[in-house]
Amino acid sequence: MISRTSTSFRARSFAIAVVGVMFGLTGCALDGSLGASGDPSVSVTATPTPTATAVYRLADATGKAQNVRIPMLPEEANANSEDGVEAFARYWFQTLSYAYETGDVTAWSANMSPHCKFCTRLKEGLDSAYSNGRWLVGGKILTPSIESKYKPEAPTQQVVIKVVQDKIDVLEADGSISQPTTSASKSESVMIASFESGLWKVKDLGLIR
């Protein structure tokens, strides 16, 4: 049966990989020195200097993740179809991952109904985890299986998602662990989504027991 998710589940079942970034700059340009012959009419062509590239850095005891790439909504997820709702579900969990990595829930919460009680509790958990200088380490989430029960004429669609999650720690501003480590887990969740004004929205979410 499908059960409503308890408050304690918010930090346990959907913690996400906290992969960060630091900036690095590589590359150099050749100067316009003379060729081997010494002929001033011959010069070495300067190569363009590569732009700075962001290098992902995992969050750890020294600080939060940095320069995390925001997931992009795939074109396929805009379709009111079986493939469309599955692509949306995959994207939604990616934005949840981003929220766990950064504490920024903007992209993730934009795609859910305010009536989703589990979503609200999860958002509260994320806000708390990133308040007062705290941050998350670990907890990478993967969705190895996503399967919809698509019915073309139905007002809402059901999607079953297998969730695999690494352990997670909540760190205080001084880098100390604030609570016992949450163990790695595997679970199945069900998403109820509706297609409204050309977009999918999460209406409800829960665990399958």
Q: Characterise 164 by phi-psi region: left (phi > 0), alpha (psi -120 to 50), beta (else).
A: beta
Distance in angstroms (rounded) separating the CA atoms of residues 11 and 33? 60
| Token code pair at residue 22 | 């630091």
For every residue of 61-79, DSSP letters joined together read: TTB--BSPPPP---GGGGS
| Token code pair at residue 97 | 């991952």
Q: Which domains does the chain have, with CATH numbers?
A: 2-22+56-208 (3.10.450)
Confidence of residue 46 (pLDDT cuts 50, 70, 90): low
pLDDT score, position 50: 57
pLDDT score, position 139: 74
Does the pLDDT of residue 39 top 60, yes or no?
A: no
User: How confident is the model over 27-51, as a mean pLDDT?
Assistant: 41
Does the pLDDT of residue 49 top 70, yes or no?
A: no
Listed in sequence order, the residues at least 6 apart from 188 whose beta carbon sits closer than 8 Å to its beta carbon are 160, 161, 162, 163, 207, 208
| pTM above threshold 0.85 | no
Across the chain, mean pLDDT equals 79
Does the pLDDT of residue 43 top 70, yes or no?
A: no
pLDDT digits (tens, 9 = 90+) for 137-150: 977 788 999 999 99
Does the pLDDT of residue 97 top 80, yes or no?
A: yes
Does the pLDDT of residue 172 top 80, yes or no?
A: yes
The rounded Cα 163 to chain-centroid distance in angstroms is 13
Does the pLDDT of residue 132 top 80, yes or no?
A: yes
Does the pLDDT of residue 174 top 90, yes or no?
A: yes
User: How confident is the model over 61-73, as a mean pLDDT?
Assistant: 92
Confidence of residue 105 (pLDDT cuts 50, 70, 90): very high
pLDDT score, position 51: 57
Among the listed residues 106, 187, 109, 99, the one whose alpha carbon sits nearest the alpha carbon of residue 136? 99
163 three-state secondary structure: strand
DSSP 8-state code for residue 103: S
Does the pLDDT of residue 16 top 70, yes or no?
A: no
